[in-house]
Amino acid sequence: MNASALLKQPIVLAAGGTGGHVYPALALAEVLGSRNWPIAFVTDNRGTAFGEPRSGTEIHHIKAASLGGGACSKLKGLTQLGVGLLQARAILKRLNPAASVGFGGYPSVPTMCAATQIGTPTIIHEQNAVLGRANRLLAPRVGTIATSFDQVSGVPPQASQKAVLTGNPVRTAISQIGETPYPTLTESDQLNLLIFGGSQGARVLSEVIPRALASLSHDEKSRLHITQQCRAEDLEDVKAAYEQAGISATLATFFDDMPERLTKAHLVIARAGASTISELMAAGRPAILIPYPHATDDHQTANASRVAAAGASWCVPEPTFTTDFVAGELHRFLQQPQTLVEAAAKTKRLRKADAAERLADAVEANIDLTERGEAA
């Protein structure tokens, strides 16, 4: 097989469920497409809610479900995964892909299992500091495990030699923020605070932050501008709280111009999901991170702790994230803005601007490059 023939085979990207799994897949698709690889995207019914792959990408939907809950839920999940496996095998046999890449979450399992069964080169990507359960299941079977952190717990001992550090790909628009200077911040400048809770929102942010900021002095409140993503059911209450406190705020359930808002932000308050952490590092923005306490294997705490250990952000368990704590931190940052300037510099040192390129390299390394190289 010559190089041009191999390049006609698509690379399959399997992702779905949440934005944390889908966004890195979309970033990788952009790079692989620039290298002239056709892309096929295999996902569940929720996958494309977080954005469409590049033009010309084939999109295939398969059945998938988690294995959580009681016996009935587990049985239903297994049935769905079984159907998904049959669907994925049929799709892969027709596509004859050059490689298959999984991004974790149960929607990736049928496709990646099918790929290992039919002998397609395989790679899985882990976004978190703890190997997810789906990737843990797949790890012994695949060719390479690409990681976002230099230390990832939960990798099976027999698969540890397969791990390669690539970083977590982010959207180009986010990565470009890290190439610009941190916004000027002195003791007299406005402090731009960006608050979001991930794709599902976070009630604790809507409850605690408005009360905390309302307790600040008039002069301190006048120096704040708030941009906050709220759950739909919280939006009106949060708006009323800020208006009553006389605080300037822009609120929405979703912002489609997040790169622009992140560019202007001096500080972010957010959950500690993989995409959030990676985008903060790529953009070079410090954050107060409140890990979701019910995340599988407490992976958000592991994510936040890795960044906090570098002095780039602050990891705050939800019980500690109180009105008094938030008010105290904002008072400190307003009085000592250099604290944020220094944290931003440390955050930027963590960025892996070439994560998507490095992941694309790892994918190509799994393909039979001896065949591809015959005509190269």
| Each residue's pLDDT tens digit, 204-222 | 999 999 999 999 999 999 9
Q: Please, what sign has the CA dihedral across residues 69, 71, 73, 76?
A: positive
Rg (CA), the chain: 22
Output the pLDDT for position 17. 67
The pair of structure tokens assigned to 56 is: 């010309």
- 53 has pLDDT over 60: no
13 is written with which tokens? 């990207």
* 107 or 356: which leads in pLDDT: 356
Tens-digit pLDDT profile for residues 318-334: 999 999 999 999 999 99
7: pLDDT strictly greater than 70: no
- Give me the mean pLDDT over the 273-295 stretch: 93
The pLDDT, as a whole number, for residue 56 is 65
Q: What is the mean pLDDT of residues 79-105?
A: 91
- pLDDT: is 352 or 316 the higher one? 316
The mean pLDDT of the chain is 88
73, amino acid identity: S
Quick check: 54 pLDDT over 80? no
Position 1 scores a pLDDT of 44
What domains can be seen in the chain, in order of their start residue?
3-168+353-375 (3.40.50.2000), 174-349 (3.40.50.2000)
List the single range of 17-21, 49-53, 144-148, 236-240 with lowest mean pLDDT: 49-53
How far apart CA 150 and CA 34 sit, in angstroms, is: 27
Mean pLDDT (whole number) for 224-235: 94
Q: Are 26 and 47 in contact (CB under 8 A)?
A: no
Cβ neighbours of residue 65 under 8 Å, at least 6 residues apart?
A: 76, 77, 80, 81, 106
Local confidence band at 369 (pLDDT 50, 70, 90 cut-offs): very low
pLDDT band at 4 (very low <50, low <70, confident <90, very high): low
Q: Is the pLDDT of residue 154 over 70?
A: yes
Judge whether residue 264 has pLDDT over 70. yes
Predicted confidence band of residue 2 (pLDDT cuts 50, 70, 90): very low
The most confident of the ranges 16-20, 28-32, 46-50 is 28-32
Asked if the model's pLDDT at residue 227 lies above 80, the reply is yes
Give, for 86, the enclosing helix (H) or strand (E): helix 71-95
For range 267-287, the mean pLDDT: 94
Q: Per the structure block, which two tokens stand in for 53?
A: 């792959």
User: Rounded to whole angstroms, how far apart are CA atoms 288 and 196?
Assistant: 11
For 27-44, what is the mean pLDDT? Answer: 92
Return the pLDDT at 201: 59
Position 297 scores a pLDDT of: 87
Return the minimum-mean-pLDDT range out of 67-76, 103-112, 336-345.
67-76
For tokens 């698969």, name the residue: 159
Average pLDDT in the 250-277 region?
94
- What is the model's pLDDT at position 374? 39
With beta carbons less than 8 A apart as the criterion, state whether 337 and 191 touch.
Answer: yes
pLDDT tier at 341, thresholds 50, 70, 90: very high
Q: What pLDDT does 323 receive? A: 97
Phi-psi category of residue 4: left, alpha or beta, with phi > 0 → left and psi -120 to 50 → alpha: alpha
